[in-house]
Structure 1
Amino acid sequence: MPRSLTPRIFFRVVAIAEAVTWTLLIAGMIAKYGFDAGPVPVKIGGGVHGFVFIVYVLTAIVVGLNQRWPARLTALAVVSAVVPYATIPFDLAVDRKGLLDGGWRTTASDDPRDRGRVDTLLRWMLGHPATFVGIFVAGAIIIMSVLLTLGPPGTWGR
């Protein structure tokens, strides 16, 4: 990863983007239901928000692993995306506690956790930025495609 793109900056940019897309979705809903604008505003706002939501979830997992957050904190990061605008206060809280400090862990340390499969894979991915970005984006696109194929959440299992 480029030195300038620290875990803190990466997480903050995606957390803000996730909050901004809530605004797009809400504006689309207001246009559709308040001004009888039809389904297009919600489809656009919902699609953009859905994709950025997936990117945020993946970002929270990658940053959580890199920063060695407890699983509960990483889960809380993911859940914060479900509540409109909650990614911003979550980002500010973990930043205030220093939980976004430091760079990407691209080399092994003496910490025994560095010998685990997940940490080894994470280090390898972070050491190969082009591969990491490709897999990250492809993963988000695949997840989005599967979810679009399944249809809206209220229709799953029918």
Structure 2
Amino acid sequence: MTPRLLFRVVAIAEAVTWTLLIAGLILRATTGWALGVTIGGGIHGFVFLAYAGVALLVGIDRRWQPGLVVLAVASAIVPYATVPVDLALDRRGKLDGAWRREPDPASPDRTPLDALVRWFVRRPAVLIAVFAVLLVAIFATLLALGPPGGR
């Protein structure tokens, strides 16, 4: 899976989960059924975290400027904004190419994160396992803290 395809899949998934959350909010407002917000919000929160992690991973691999990584992650805060951000990044060529698996002598690693991402990209099973554990740990911690805005 290329950086472009991975980013596109999670960008679209993040937008779809906004629909689930908004539908849950509408159901709660119109019928009083609060479980819709719990379900939609939980799914949306999990996919939001996955999108943020993928944006960081792709941004480091594609050597985006830090501001561009922040913009990509922040776009998930605005409903459906991840899709136009994905399209804009694609148009600008920011998602082009395969994963950087080997060091490029013409363009050495700029930060230790470059080497770390390359190491993980060469070991996709380890990357997926570590990503999943971190994602679940962050999600569980946030659930323990309670929903945004209090209970």
1:119 CA drift (Å): 1.1
Segments of 4+ in structure 1 off by > 3 A?
none
Identity of aligned residues (%): 52
Tell me the number of residue pairs that the alignment of Structure 1 and Structure 2 aligns: 151
Tell me what 1:34 maps to.
30
TM-score normalised by the chain length of structure 2:
0.96
Which residue does the alignment assign to 1:107?
102
Deviation at 1:23, TM superposition (A): 0.1
Letter in 2 for 1:98: G
1:45 to 2:40 alignment = yes
Kindly provide the amino acid, as one letter, of the partner of residue 51 in structure 2: Y
CA RMSD of aligned residues (A): 1.4
Q: Deviations over 1:101-156 (max 9, x none)?
A: 00101101114542632111111100001000001111111110110011123249
CA distance in 2 between partners of 1:93 and 1:34 (Å): 36
Partner of 2:80: 85
Contact persistence 1:113–1:119 (CA under 8 A): no
Does the 8 Å contact 1:14/1:56 carry over to 2? yes
Match of 1:86, as an amino acid? Answer: A
Distance apart, 1:95 and its partner CA = 0.3
Which consecutive unaligned segments of at least 5 residues does structure 1 have? none
CA distance in 1 between partners of 2:70 and 2:118 (Å): 21
